[in-house]
Homo-oligomer: A and B are copies of this chain.
Amino acid sequence: MAENKDKAKLHPKLTLQFFTDEKCFGPGVAILLEKIKENNSIRKASFDIGMSYSKAWTIIKRAEKNLGFKLLSSKTGGVDGGGATLTENAERLLNSYRQCEQELLKYCDSKFAENFSWIDNISVLE
């Protein structure tokens, strides 16, 4: 019966993903690409995020397969071991994705405030 004091308030979370037959692009790949752009390295990027290299590699591979174009142009070997950079298409995709997401988010927040503000006022389970 005691009212919970410092409970996190209810808030919306919107996720934008792209599918073909399978999921192929979403927040995970997006942030990974951003980190790769930052580091010029899949390995450093995945480490940054706390994602295993194999998973990073897998989701990029899957994305490329389903999108039909390459996201990374990578080279291997050399003194620094190699590296990876985003293709133009990846940049374009990423930019569009983030922008689209942002607009949706804004729209979502206003809709949420409009339609669900009654919830926090409502009482009392058990």
Name the contact of A122 in the complex, choosing from B12, B66, B68, B111 (C-beta under 8 A).
B68
Q: Is A18 touching B14 in the complex (CB atoms < 8 A)?
A: no
Q: Is B96 touching A115 in the complex (CB atoms < 8 A)?
A: yes
Task: List CB contacts (< 8 Å) of A4-24 with chain B.
Answer: 4, 7-21, 23-24
Q: Is B20 touching A16 in the complex (CB atoms < 8 A)?
A: no
A interface majority secondary structure = mixed
Q: Which of A46-54, A76-84, A101-109 lies at the interface with chain B?
A: A101-109
Q: Is B18 touching A11 in the complex (CB atoms < 8 A)?
A: yes
CB of A38 to closest CB in B, whole Å: 23
Q: Is B104 touching A108 in the complex (CB atoms < 8 A)?
A: yes
Is A1 positioned at the interface, with any CB of B under 8 Å from its CB?
A: no
